[in-house]
């Protein structure tokens, strides 16, 4: 574990586990969480002989709680700072939710020379918000309400999301895990309110259409069909079509937070794609 300082003076926290000569997987977390959200994947792939890396996005987790730079350009540049600092080569980049947008924008912005493959899990591309050209998106009022709830009572808002739609715990017959809910809350509350407030705009209003078209490495698009945070129909199938070398894998009934609640299935499919 350590920190890398970006060109604009932000300290980015990272984890780097495993042999330095092993194949590398770099994990990119979702909003408003941290690299800790990848515990189930990092332990699994470490045990399979991989080198696993994950960082806390600026303003999130243990990284600097700066007031600005909470946009996809800065997120991509911060990723590059970690990659360069650690000298990572031939990397598989795996992103969940907002992290999926970060992965695509990083590859499109900084090139594919050191990228082996990409994976988008429950990811926000191509575009979440509803526009004339994206009629299937969610109305902007949904994200405005996110910001209002965060500003009014972030602690309660960060309790409501994981205990409800994030993991599908609001579905009939679901069995909520208090530990998973509390861990989501813990990760969220460690981060900065300003970063999370601005991050809602970053993940909802960034249009990744042109980025997706530029990425020619193999990309696996994994998405739960019961995703209540990033609805399936306007995300994964569209991204897979835009990617020159994209493969879509959908999961009936799986929620947005499926890397945690369905880790056994997700890890097995990730491993098959990475080794394939």
- Residue 85: active-site member: no
Q: How far is CA 77 from CA 99, 149, 227, in A?
A: 13, 29, 29
Identify whether the C-beta of residue 123 lies closer than 8 Å to the C-beta of residue 225.
no
| Active-site residue identified among 97, 122, 163, 235 | 97
- Residue 63: active-site member: no
Report how far residue 204's alpha carbon sits from residue 125's, in angstroms, rounded to the nearest whole number: 9
- Residue 256: active-site member: yes
The residue behind tokens 């996809």 is 72
| Active-site residue identified among 227, 234, 235, 239 | 227
3-state class of 68 per DSSP? Answer: coil
Identify whether the C-beta of residue 191 lies closer than 8 Å to the C-beta of residue 198.
no
Judging by DSSP bridges, how do beta strands 51-55 and 11-17 pair with one another?
A: antiparallel
CB burial readout 222-240, b (16+ within 10 A) else e: bbbebbbbbbbebbbebbb
Catalytic residues: 97, 227, 256
């Amino acid at each position: 574990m350590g920190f890398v300082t970006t060109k604009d003076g932000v300290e980015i926290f990272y984890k780097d586990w495993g042999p330095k000569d092993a194949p590398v997987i770099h994990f990119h977390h979702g909003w408003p969480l941290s690299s800790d959200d990848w515990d189930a994947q990092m332990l699994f792939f470490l045990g399979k002989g991989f080198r696993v890396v994950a960082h806390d996005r600026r303003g999130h987790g243990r990284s600097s709680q700066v007031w600005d730079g909470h946009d996809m350009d800065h997120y991509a540049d911060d990723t590059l700072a970690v990659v360069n600092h650690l000298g990572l080569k031939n990397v598989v980049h795996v992103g969940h939710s907002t992290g999926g947008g970060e992965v695509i924008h990083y590859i499109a912005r900084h090139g594919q020379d050191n990228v082996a493959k990409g994976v988008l899990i429950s990811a926000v591309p191509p575009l979440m918000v509803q526009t004339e050209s994206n009629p299937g998106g969610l109305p902007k009022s949904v994200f405005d309400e996110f910001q209002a709830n965060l500003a009014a009572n972030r602690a309660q808002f960060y309790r409501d999301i994981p205990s409800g739609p994030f993991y599908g715990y609001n579905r009939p017959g679901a069995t909520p895990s208090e530990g998973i809910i509390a861990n989501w809350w813990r990760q969220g509350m460690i981060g900065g309110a300003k970063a999370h407030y601005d991050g809602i705009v970053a993940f909802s209003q960034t249009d990744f259409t042109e980025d997706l078209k530029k990425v020619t490495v193999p990309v696996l698009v994994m998405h739960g069909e019961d995703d209540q945070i990033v609805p399936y129909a306007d995300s994964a199938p569209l991204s897979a079509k835009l990617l020159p070398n994209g493969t879509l894998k959908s999961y009936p009934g799986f929620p947005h937070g499926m890397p945690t609640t369905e880790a056994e299935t997700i890890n097995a499919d990730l491993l098959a794609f990475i080794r394939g």
